[in-house]
Every structure is written in C-alpha cells, then in structure tokens.
Amino acid sequence: MQLQLLFWMCLLTVYSIIATAVTQSIEFPEWDWGDELTTAIGVAIGVLLVFRNRSAYDRWWEARTLWGKLINDSRNLAVKTAAFAEIEPNDRQAFAELLIAFPHALRMHLRGQREPMPNVAALYPEFDEAQHRPAFISLQIFKLMNKWNRGNKLFTSIRILERHGNGLLDVCGACERIRNTPMVSSYLYITWCSVILYCLAAPWPMGVNFGWYALPIVLLSNGFLLAMEVVAETIEEPFGTEQDDLPLERYCSSIESFVRDTLA
C-alpha cells in the first residue's frame, strides 16, 4: 500500500508544483469562488469516501469474524471429540490431521495457491485430485463422524459434533463470497473519478488566489483523500498478503497447535 500511495503522491506533487508555477507566471483573472469549488466537491467526495471506507472495513471485519468462527469451531470440535467420542487412536489422529488441514487448505484456496499437503495426502491418496480441497476435507470429517455414529461410539452426541462441522463449510462459503464479490463497480468508478478530478483541479484556483503558500495545503488534502481511497482498496480484499490483510498463517498455526494439544 505504502509504495502505491508514495507513487501517486510523487506524481501529484510534481503536478501541483507545475500548476502553481503556471498560475504564478501567467496572469489569471482572480476567481473569488475557488473555495466554493473546493468545499462543494470536497463534501461530495467526503460523503463517498466515508461510505466506501465503511463498507470496505465491514468486509474486512466480517472476514476476520469468519476466521474467528473457524478457530472457534475447530476448537470446539477438538474439545468435544476429546470429551464425547470414545474412538481409537488411529481415528483420533486422522481427525486431528483433517481439522488441522482445513484452515491451511482454505487459506490456499482463497489465495489461489495449491501447495502439496502431505499429511492429508498420506491418509487420503485421492486428495491430490480433489477440485475443491476444503470441501474434500469437510466430507472426510463428516464421514468419520458417520462411521463413529453408526459404530455407536458417540452415544447420542452426533449432533453435538456435527453442529461445528457445519461451521467449516459455512466459513469457506462466506470467505469465497467476500473474495469473489467486488464492491459495486459503479461506486468504485465514481469514487476514483471524483478523487482524481479533485486532485487535478484543486491546485489551480488555490494557486491563482494564494500562490505558493497554498502548495502544502493542496498536497496535504490531496494526500489525505488518496490515502483514504488506497486504504479502502487494500482493506476490501482481506485475504491477500499485504500489510493490513489478515494474518491467515497465524490463525492456521493457532488452530494447529490447539488441535495437537487437545487431541494428541
């Protein structure tokens, strides 16, 4: 984000300096409505940017909450399996591997990556061909539950476990929704146009009326608008690997260590 912002700011600074220099060297008629322009368009853009940043932030926070739910459901599954299921160590081990693999698979799925996952592939050789890897893992989790249930190892507690099993696929679907649904393109378009037009127009009336004194103010207010816009864009895609994106690796390893502790 910082690099992108820096690049735009440099461009803008050069442009503003040139604009101010031109206004100082050529004799313009004095406009007494320069500030009206600034205020009117400024209010409009402010309204838009608040709206845009709020919906971007809401997406970001929803994504965070979804991964929080994934952590909760994984933990509950681990704890409840340890408490309610009287199963063989083998199954316990396989279940733990599946629980651990799910967030990793989801993370790669959301980022379009597909690294090998040897632990799961060792248990389920057909895993490597699975199209939708989180769904494959979720299916194996439910199959294990079904086996235990029919083997009467859960003693009326199948629904206690199953409830959290849903959570896995629900989180996956909701994360895909956030990743695949960009902000309404018309809003993006209007916001960008407004910010660009404002940044291009602002130096001229300010330069004509106030000369070089106006430069720092123009740069500051333009930088502010640009920063808001750039942050909104970064925040909107919370599953990337940029600075303010969610630390999915950390969540994955937090689930991993918890499940290993509880089920090992």
Binding to its own copies (CB under 8 A): which residues in 167-206? Answer: 169-170, 173-174, 176-177, 181, 184-187, 190, 194, 197
Angle (CA) 195-46-16 rounded to 5° is 40
Residue 92 CB, nearest approach to its own copies (Å): 14
Taking alpha carbons only, the member of 262, 249, 223 closest to residue 111 is 249
Residues 231-260 that bind its own copies (CB under 8 A): 231, 234-235, 243-244, 257-258
Region binding its own copies by CB under 8 A among candidate stretches 18-26, 101-109, 113-121, 163-171: 163-171
Residue 106 · residue 251 · CB < 8 Å: no
Residue 141 CB, nearest approach to its own copies (Å): 8
Residue 252 · residue 107 · CB < 8 Å: yes
From candidates 72, 93, 119, 253, binder to its own copies by CB under 8 A = 72
From candidates 18, 146, 241, 249, binder to its own copies by CB under 8 A = 146
Residues 76-95 that bind its own copies (CB under 8 A): 76, 79-80, 82-84
Residues 38-67 that bind its own copies (CB under 8 A): 38-44, 46-47, 49-51, 53-55, 57, 60-61, 64-65
Of how many residues is the chain composed? 264
114 forms part of the interface with its own copies (CB under 8 A):
no
CB-based contacts of 94, cutoff 8 Å, min separation 6: 123, 144
**Token digits for 65?**
């909450």
Residue 194 · residue 48 · CB < 8 Å: yes
Residue 56 · residue 232 · CB < 8 Å: yes
Residue 122 CB, nearest approach to its own copies (Å): 21
From candidates 13, 22, 35, 111, binder to its own copies by CB under 8 A = 35
Residue 43 CB, nearest approach to its own copies (Å): 6
- Tell me which DSSP letter residue 182 carries: P
Residue 198 · residue 110 · CB < 8 Å: no
Residue 181 CB, nearest approach to its own copies (Å): 6
Residues 116-135 that bind its own copies (CB under 8 A): 131-132, 135
Residue 232 CB, nearest approach to its own copies (Å): 9
Give the count of alpha carbons within 13 A of 38, CB side only.
17
